[in-house]
Structure 1
Amino acid sequence: MALKHLSPLLVAALLAGGCATSPAPTTSAADVGETRPGSGYLKGYLASAEMPDSLALLPPPPEANSAALAADVAAFRSLTALQGSPRGALAVRDANLRFPEAASTFSCALGVRISEQQTPHLNMLLRRTLADAGGATYKAKEKYQRTRPFVALKAASCTPKEEAHLAKDGSYPSGHSALGWAWALVLTELAPERADALLQRGRSFAQSRGICGVHWRSDIEAGRLIGAATVGRLHANPVFTAQMSAAKNEIAQARSRSDSAPPAADCAAEANAIAGSAALTP
């Protein structure tokens, strides 16, 4: 339809809409705000009502004396045996969701240093999706209030200082697994040529919760599903998609600089540690 056949007001409206730009994403933590004052965790992109319904998406956790629970216990035994090893040390690192430390989790898999200074949009993308994917697990967590494996089996975890808090927090599904898998999927979109390494790192990040003894196998698998569902919801959010675009540009720019890659020795050690548990489930 030719524009000359439309009213001047409608033409103006169409032209204005065509020239509209995506919301400008911020890299300022102060602008975004925290989930709770003083928590250090930033608000996500999604409102609570926009998050996936984990209670609707997931089945109940395994019942007592079931084959599924027996598989959970077997996985607990094999995974927690790695505590104290290099893979166990990586699991301890993966437990820390505080930034700036957590920003480096996927740096080796991406092949680019991730930091507030060098990649501010990418750093903000990880900080905000953490809240979205982690928060999306809580409807099911609060319903089932599943006891964590280190409590149920009277074992030690790899993060003893967190045990008192974790013992009061439902185990199913795993929030760490949800956000780690969400990070892996988001980064795979930004750098598809690194997809295998990024997805492997997302899997190992979730698996670290089993090594630490704080989540059952079924918690981890359910968490990854919620992480994927969250990323699907995020693509309807214009601030998220705008931040994705900015982060993609940052990655391209970083790859053009000689100082942008993480230390090779650190990445080799990480790869060797991950290889040590690659055959284990989940």
Structure 2
Amino acid sequence: MMFKPTFLALLLLAPPLAAARDGHANAYLSDTQVSVAMAVLPAPSTPGSAEDKADYAATDRAFADRSAADFEQAKKEEKFNAFDFAPVIGDGFRADKLPHVAALFKEAEEETKQAVDLSKNHWKRPRPCPPASECADHPEKAAKKSFGYPSGHSSRATVDAILLAQLFPQDADALMQHARDIGWRRVVKGVHTLQDIYAGREFGTALATDMLASPALQHDLAAAREELRAAGLAPKTP
């Protein structure tokens, strides 16, 4: 019975998203789809509960135990897009060579960010702040960051992986693992908890599933496949 008030509250958040996409006829997601995906996302732990404290403590440990390589990669991934999956797909997977592919993922990533921002602002879950982290050293910068739940990196990486698997089905497992690694390194960097990145995976999966039902996305996927074939990057058929 607690689900209905939460769902109705989330539906009230739909108008700002509609305003952000006003006049955009080729959007991949409807406001209703975003609202339903937000409503299905489970609530994070109750603030101050034992579970909540353990979640933040896990980030403190991951940050303290970080490897130099993982931490450097996490910093490089502060800004990323679908073309950062090139290590899985191949060196020829470049935005400057594939404008149709680039346009598709720019749209998908922008819509995902809008949905994530709405969800973050609904839950208002504080980010972690491990000892000796950038957050601890520069609290004034940390105060300007968005909320933590769900992780935007984890959400967008999941959407990217699922949509890329439509173009490179033979790489589906590796693409998803790459997305999971991007999310995990947000914990290593000390800016998200495990709950944040798990929620991002679930939210990203729901958003990508709805995107795939969009005629606009299917049209753009077809154009992307043709472009990949012309570039010699299409999957080899058996």
TM-score (ref. length: structure 2)? 0.75
> Match of 2:226?
249
What residue in structure 1 maps to residue 40 of structure 2? Answer: 57
| Residue correspondence of structure 1 range 258-273 to structure 2 within 5 A | none
Q: How big is the shift at 1:138?
A: 3.0
Q: 1:187-217 deviations in whole A, cap 9, x for unaligned? A: 1121111112111101111112111211111
Q: TM-score, normalized by length of structure 1?
A: 0.65
CA contact (8 A) 1:147 1:167 kept: no
More helix by share: 2
Q: CA deviation at 1:77?
A: 2.9
Identify which range, 181-190 or 137-146, moves more after superposition: 137-146
From 100, 104, 119, the counterpart of 1:125: 104
Identity among equivalent pairs (%): 30
Question: How many positions carry a matched residue from both structures?
Answer: 210
Shift in alpha-carbon separation, 1:200–1:161, aligned structure 2, 3 A = farther
2:123 corresponds in structure 1 to 144
Deviations 1:73-99 (A, max 9, x none): 3431342135561111111111114xx
The residue number in structure 2 matching 1:14 is: none
Q: Does 1:86 align with 2:65?
A: no
Partner Cα distance (2:105, 2:50) in 1: 36
Could you tell me which runs of 5 or more consecutive residues in structure 1 were left unpaired when the two chains were aligned.
1-34, 37-42, 258-282
- RMSD between aligned alpha carbons? 2.9
CA–CA separation in structure 2 for the residues paired with 1:103 and 1:161: 30
Alpha carbons of structure 1 residues 84 and 48: separation in structure 2 relative to 1, 3 Å: same
Q: Tell me, which stretches of 5 or more residues in structure 2 are unaligned? A: 1-19
Counterpart residue identity of residue 191, structure 2: V
Task: State which structure, 1 or 2, has the greater radius of gyration over its C-alpha atoms.
Answer: 1
Aligned to 1:135: 114
Residue in structure 2 matched with residue 229 of structure 1 by the alignment: 206
Rounded to whole Å, the distance in 1 between the matches of 2:220 and 2:31 is 20
Give the one of 157, 160, 166 matched to 1:189.
166
Show CA shifts across 1:107-159 (max 9, x none).
11122533332111211222111122222223331122111102xx454149x
